[in-house]
Amino acid sequence: MKSSFNLDRRIIYAFVVIALAWPLINKYTVRPARMKSAEKLFEVVESTKPTPGQFAFVAFDFGPSTAAENAGQARVVVEHLMRRRIPVVLFTQYLLADPFLKSIPEKIISNLETEMPGQKWIYGKDWVNLGYRPGAGILIQSISKSKNLAETFLVDAYSTPLKDLPLFRRPTQLKNISLLTQFTGLVGLFDSYVQFFQTADYRPNFGHGCTSITIPEAYIYLDSGQLQGLLEGIAGAAWYSKLLSDKYPVRKPDEAILINTGLGIAHLLLIGLIILGNISGIISRRNS
Amino acid sequence: MIAVDLSIATTITAGVATLAIFSFLIKENPFYRLFEHIFIGIAAGLGIIQGLRYFLWPQILRPMLGYDILTFPDGTVSKPYDGAVLLYLIPMIFGLLYYFIYSQRHAWLAKLVIGFSLGASAGLAFKGFFAEMLPQLASSFKPLIVLENDQIVWWSSISNCIFIFTLLAVMYYFFFSIKADSAVEKKFSSSGRWLMMVCFGSFFGSTVMARLALLVERLQFLLVDWFNTLVSVV
């Protein structure tokens, strides 16, 4: 049965590209939708006090294939932690995430130091890059059981012994991790933290940034209390970015809201095309 | 200067590669095929090199060979050689036994490694299952009427009722031990199927959203980084 309204798929692609690109070219943004799960994570970071010897453990388990969503989430959360002067220890179990462990914090620090002249975020004291570490569940278990993380990891991503860095000069263990945040599109890697990043008597607050595909799965963990906050795709990052801008008005806006606007317009286009396609189908059926 | 040129070359190459892959949307073409093969080759090679560069060499081989020990001009060293790192040889040799899978006579040695891996994975999965699932099971027991200061919280109560109904209906749909004969049972079972359809719909919607997010990131790269680099070169 031939539809009365036959549109070449390439024209649809062109429409989608225009819908996504138009806000990027014109820097047009709309207010992102409120995401309660992102607000929860924001509140967890806000309630985490910068205590000496305590730090946030941040896992970037994403590569270029999901960086569109996960990198935006990682940027806003790491920025928030750095603004609150909570030391950040970055780490990945995913090989292709390695470049992001350097580029994202360096870009954030550059922006923060421009915004607040005179303030510095020093490597080794305010942030540490542990680099890529394979091992999945076994590695996460070894972190949980470690009596001294400097002896578990030995060196950072640049082969500097951890015990030479101010953050790890004193023995640190799981109890020194006040907050765990992990960004990934890989459910298996996320599971390894849910399962093993805890001891019988301590479990740090856990925030997670997932891709849009894995939202339905990740939401289960938020409902059960295994997650204290969740960033749902780029929409979660956009709302988190808005919360950050509300709290720090001098902050330079990031790209999460811009990308989210493009996505919103493209979604409207897709909904319009689905309705149009259905109307076309009904008309064709009646005519035949 | 070389670093700057390299960054420009990287950005331009990335843009061309992106356009080559996107050209498939118009139709299958040799330009797309070329870059697809390059991508597969790089992906295969990169994993090995990154594993060697970022893990095997700095964390295993370097300390084992003592290359992480600095010798100062006065002859003293930054730290003594730790003989315990040689213990890494045991799992390394044990892991290498896996290659006996290619030998008909000694294939049983590979089975030792496979058996060990299976046992360790099963143990981890068993422990992980309880750590992951028990909190979820416990959180499934929700009150149907939520009270706060002796007042019913309607929204939470309705939400919990929907949750419990969905949970039971979906579980009943997969309950094959008893045949659903009565009309009520059939309707309950079919509502479980419909509720799963709603779930699949949300999965599909979020998949579309994720794919568009990937596209918008590439468009941003092409329109901002790539375009500006091209303009600066021209």
Q: How many domains in chain A?
A: 2
Looking at the structure, tell me whether residues A93 and A126 fall in a common domain. yes
Cα dihedral: B13, B17, B19, B24 (round 10) = 160
Looking at the structure, tell me whether residues A227 and A110 fall in a common domain. yes
Residue carrying the six token digits 């750095």: A82
Chain A residues with CB under 8 Å of B129 CB are 195
Residue of A nearest to B117 (CA): A138
Fill in the DSSP letter of residue A147. S
Q: Which one of A9, A11, A12, A17 makes the best mutation probe of the B interface by having the most chain B beta carbons within 10 Å?
A: A17
Looking at the structure, tell me whether residues A23 and A42 fall in a common domain. no
> Is the complex ipTM more than 0.85?
no
Q: What is the CATH number of the domain that holds A155?
A: 3.40.50
SS3 (DSSP) at A229: strand
pLDDT confidence bin for A2, thresholds 50/70/90: low
Q: Do B54 and A25 touch (CB under 8 A)?
A: no
Looking at the structure, tell me whether residues A118 and A162 fall in a common domain. yes
The shortest CB-CB distance from A154 to any of B51, B59, B212 is to: B59
Looking at the structure, tell me whether residues A112 and A194 fall in a common domain. yes
Per-residue confidence in pLDDT tens, chain B, 234 aa: 555 688 899 999 999 999 999 999 888 999 999 999 999 998 888 888 877 887 788 778 988 999 888 888 888 888 888 899 999 999 999 999 999 999 989 999 999 999 999 998 898 888 888 888 998 999 889 999 999 888 999 999 999 999 999 999 999 888 877 777 788 888 998 999 999 999 999 888 888 888 898 898 899 899 988 999 999 888
The shortest CB-CB distance from B213 to any of A69, A134, A216 is to: A69
Question: What is the DSSP secondary-structure string of chain B?
Answer: -HHHHHHHHHHHHHHHHHHHHHGGGT---HHHHHHHHHHHHHHHHHHHHHHIIIIIIIIIIHHHHTTT--B-TTS-BSS---GGGGGGHHHHHHHHGGGGGG-SSSHHHHHHHHHHHHHHHHHHHHHHHHHHHHHHHHHT---SS-EETTEE-HHHHHHHHHHHHHHHHHHHHT--SS---SHHHHHHHHHHHHHHHHHHHHHHHHHHHHHHHHHHHHHHIIIIIIHHHHHHH-
Looking at the structure, tell me whether residues A140 and A217 fall in a common domain. yes
Looking at the structure, tell me whether residues A131 and A234 fall in a common domain. yes
Q: Which one of A195, A214, A268 makes the best mutation probe of the B interface by having the most chain B beta carbons within 10 Å?
A: A195
Looking at the structure, tell me whether residues A97 and A122 fall in a common domain. yes
Looking at the structure, tell me whether residues A24 and A36 fall in a common domain. no
Rounded Cα distance between A74 and A97, Å, is 12
- C-alpha triplet B220, A61, B90: angle, nearest 5°: 145
- Order of all β-strands in the sheet with A177-184: A127-132, A88-92, A55-61, A177-184, A205-210, A229-232
Looking at the structure, tell me whether residues A284 and A152 fall in a common domain. no
Q: Do B216 and A137 touch (CB under 8 A)?
A: no
Looking at the structure, tell me whether residues A86 and A200 fall in a common domain. yes
Residue of B nearest to A139 (CA): B124
> Which domain covers residue A280, as residue numbers?
1-29+253-288
Q: pTM here?
A: 0.86
Q: Can you give the pLDDT at residue B2?
A: 55
Looking at the structure, tell me whether residues A185 and A207 fall in a common domain. yes
